[in-house]
């Protein structure tokens, strides 16, 4: 592999696999949309975080200094991803008879417990949306001053007609996008254009919203999209290299993030948009509102090692959709256990430097090749088959595991919060029973 070769990655903005060139040589500023903490994360959500984790660790492996920021959405994400329906946190408050902050704390803890079980590293900065209100107010004020935003029926909206590149990320025309926002338009008569979106809501949206702040436009709360722009710009500055999220975030969330960020900054904001493919079940996209609620804790209770699920995800291309079934998970667990058993039998003896370098280069090549995680896994098998000392194999696999994070060379079990795990499963069971008995 040539030393100056650049990593290639699929960029939604250009709709092709292209060379990754950061704004500053050697450094990557990366932002990933965090969870909405109104419920447990299902294994579909977690596939997205596993892929992002591999991207971050892969970039580090090939020598980049990565600075990564993620938000926690604890206000403003309405049930409709546009501006329709109640705030998801409010829905959870009613469901569980708790305050929004209690809900946010509990599900944030659960999320990071899941991440720990899946060996997903915590981003350098994790910031809740409610901790950055001043930043959103500053941005919204500038958007109003420069004519990109307007006030109607007490709320502040972004005027999408002022932003000519609005359709670039999705690559879809207004007729197509219209289908996605039809419900919002029917519910929100204040909007001037169909794709306009809320930057700041006052009482005209929900007067029972628990979390409200004073603003120049009245007491209220921020829209969901401004949170990610605000947090990203506040912590990573005016130029972002990579922005990630699952494919459903392309429109409206990321489309709106670009519109408001670039209008606020007055220049291009982010160069690479990396979208992760869905995890589907037999009936389509896995979502929190339907079917069995597949959490990592549930998989554990059924006897699966969470890392078998990570192994399963690693075997797929991050950009493609993946259909989950227990058969596939059984296969992954089988393969993962066999692989780990083989690695654990290796003796820690002398290392052949040339072979070591050769196989580290091959791994780097897989990362460079559009983050080819299934090739990275195949390389572990190649190393085991290759004619070299056990010590060399072990040293190589230890290095690979910095990205794979499958604990391939780790004998002891991980120290996770078993009580929280148990509590999650008991709660899911109770809720399922209550739902069956229509006792809410």
Does 297 interact with ligand AMP (rule: CB under 6 A)? no
Does 239 interact with ligand AMP (rule: CB under 6 A)? no
Spell out the alpha helix ranges (H) of 215-345: 224-236, 255-265, 296-301, 306-314, 326-344
* Closest to Zn ion by CB, 33 or 233: 33
Does 82 interact with ligand AMP (rule: CB under 6 A)? no
DSSP per-residue string spanning 362-386: HHHHHHHBT--HHHHHHHHHHHHHS
As a whole number of angstroms, the distance between CA 220 and CA 127 comes to: 20
CB of 329 to ligand AMP, least distance (A): 15
Does 367 interact with Zn ion (rule: CB under 5 A)? no
For strand 65-72 and strand 27-32, is the pairing parallel, antiparallel, or unpaired? Answer: parallel
Does 236 interact with Zn ion (rule: CB under 5 A)? no
From the list 55, 169, 228, 403, which residue makes contact with Zn ion (rule: CB under 5 A)?
A: 228
Does 104 interact with Zn ion (rule: CB under 5 A)? no
Identify any residues that bridge with 31 across adjacent strands, giving them in sequence order: 69, 243
> Cα–Cα–Cα angle for 31, 50, 43, nearest 5°?
115
Closest CA to 131 of 174, 176, 101, 169: 101
Does 7 interact with Zn ion (rule: CB under 5 A)? no
CB of 114 to Zn ion, least distance (A): 19
Say how many CA atoms lie within 13 Å of 91 toward its Cβ.
Answer: 15
Within 27-46, which residues bind ligand AMP (CB under 6 A)?
A: 33, 35-36, 44-45
Identify any residues that bridge with 281 across adjacent strands, giving them in sequence order: 284
Query: Going residue by residue from 384 to 403, which x/- string records binding to Zn ion, judged by CB under 5 A?
Result: --------------------
* Closest to Zn ion by CB, 238 or 248: 248
CB of 83 to ligand AMP, least distance (A): 16
Q: Which one of the spans 32-40, 81-89, 194-202, 429-437 is the region binding Zn ion (CB under 5 A)?
A: 32-40
Question: CA Rg, the chain, in Å?
Answer: 23
As a whole number of angstroms, the distance between CA 105 and CA 127 comes to: 13
Does 285 interact with ligand AMP (rule: CB under 6 A)? yes
228 binds, among ligand AMP, Zn ion, none (CB under 5 to 8 A by kind): Zn ion
Residue nearest to ligand AMP (CB): 44
CB of 228 to Zn ion, least distance (A): 3
C-alpha torsion sign, points 183, 40, 317, 299? negative
Helix (H) and strand (E) counts in the chain:
14, 14
Cα distance from N-terminal residue to C-terminal residue, the chain: 60
From the list 55, 139, 274, 279, which residue makes contact with ligand AMP (rule: CB under 6 A)?
A: 279
* Closest to Zn ion by CB, 33 or 258: 33
Burial class (CB in 10 A: 0-12, 13-18, 19+), 148: buried
From the list 22, 29, 47, 377, which residue makes contact with ligand AMP (rule: CB under 6 A)?
A: 47
Which residues does 392 contact at the CB level (< 8 Å), separation at least 6?
Answer: 350, 351, 352, 355, 356
* Closest to Zn ion by CB, 257 or 305: 257
Q: Which one of the spans 31-39, 117-125, 176-184, 198-206 is the region binding Zn ion (CB under 5 A)?
A: 31-39
**Secondary structure of residue 126 in the 3-state scheme:** strand
From the list 197, 278, 304, 311, which residue makes contact with ligand AMP (rule: CB under 6 A)?
A: 278
279 binds, among Zn ion, ligand AMP, none (CB under 5 to 8 A by kind): ligand AMP
Chain positions contacting Zn ion, by CB under 5 A: 33, 228
Chain positions contacting ligand AMP, by CB under 6 A: 33, 35-36, 44-45, 47-48, 73, 245-246, 248-249, 278-279, 285-287
């Amino acid at each position: 592999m040539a030393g100056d070769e650049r990593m290639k990655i699929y960029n939604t903005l250009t709709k092709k696999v292209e060379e990754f060139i950061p704004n500053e040589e050697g450094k990557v500023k990366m932002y990933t949309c965090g969870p909405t903490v109104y419920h447990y994360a299902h294994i579909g959500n977690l596939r997205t975080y596993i892929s992002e984790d591999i991207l971050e660790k892969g970039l580090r492996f090939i020598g980049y200094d990565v600075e990564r920021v993620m938000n926690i959405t604890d206000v403003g994400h309405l049930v409709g991803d546009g501006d329709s329906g109640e705030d998801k946190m409010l829905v959870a408050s009613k469901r569980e008879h708790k305050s929004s902050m209690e809900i946010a704390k509990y599900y944030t803890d659960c999320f990071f417990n899941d991440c720990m079980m899946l060996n997903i590293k915590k981003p350098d900065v994790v910031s809740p949306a409610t901790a950055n209100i001043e930043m959103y107010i500053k941005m919204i004020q500038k958007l109003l001053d420069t004519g990109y935003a307007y006030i109607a029926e007490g709320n502040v909206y972004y005027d999408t007609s002022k932003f000519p590149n609005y359709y670039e990320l999705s690559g879809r025309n207004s007729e197509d996008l219209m289908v996605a926002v039809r419900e919002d338009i029917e519910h929100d008569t204040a909007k001037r254009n169909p794709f306009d979106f809320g930057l700041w809501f006052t009482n005209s949206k929900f007067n029972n919203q628990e979390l409200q702040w004073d603003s120049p436009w009245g007491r209220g709360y921020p829209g969901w999209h401004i949170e990610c722009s605000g947090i990203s710009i506040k912590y990573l500055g005016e130029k972002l290299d990579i922005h990630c999220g699952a494919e459903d975030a392309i429109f409206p969330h990321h489309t709106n993030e670009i519109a408001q960020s670039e209008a606020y900054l007055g220049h291009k904001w982010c160069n690479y948009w990396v979208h992760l493919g869905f995890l589907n079940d037999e009936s389509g996209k896995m979502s929190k509102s339907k079917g069995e609620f597949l959490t990592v804790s549930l998989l554990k209770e059924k006897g699966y090692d969470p890392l078998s699920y990570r192994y399963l995800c690693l075997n797929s291309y991050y950009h493609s959709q993946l259909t989950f079934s227990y058969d596939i998970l059984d296969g992954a667990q089988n393969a993962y256990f066999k692989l780990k058993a083989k690695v654990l039998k290796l003796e820690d003896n002398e290392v052949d430097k040339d072979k070591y370098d050769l196989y580290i280069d091959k791994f780097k090549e897989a990362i460079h090749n559009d983050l080819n995680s299934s090739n990275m896994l195949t390389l572990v098998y190649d190393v085991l088959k290759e004619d070299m000392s056990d010590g060399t194999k072990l040293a190589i696999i230890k290095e690979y595991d910095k990205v794979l994070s499958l604990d391939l060379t780790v004998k002891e079990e991980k120290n996770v919060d078993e009580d929280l795990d148990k509590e999650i499963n008991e709660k899911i069971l109770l809720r399922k029973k209550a739902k069956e008995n229509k006792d809410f």
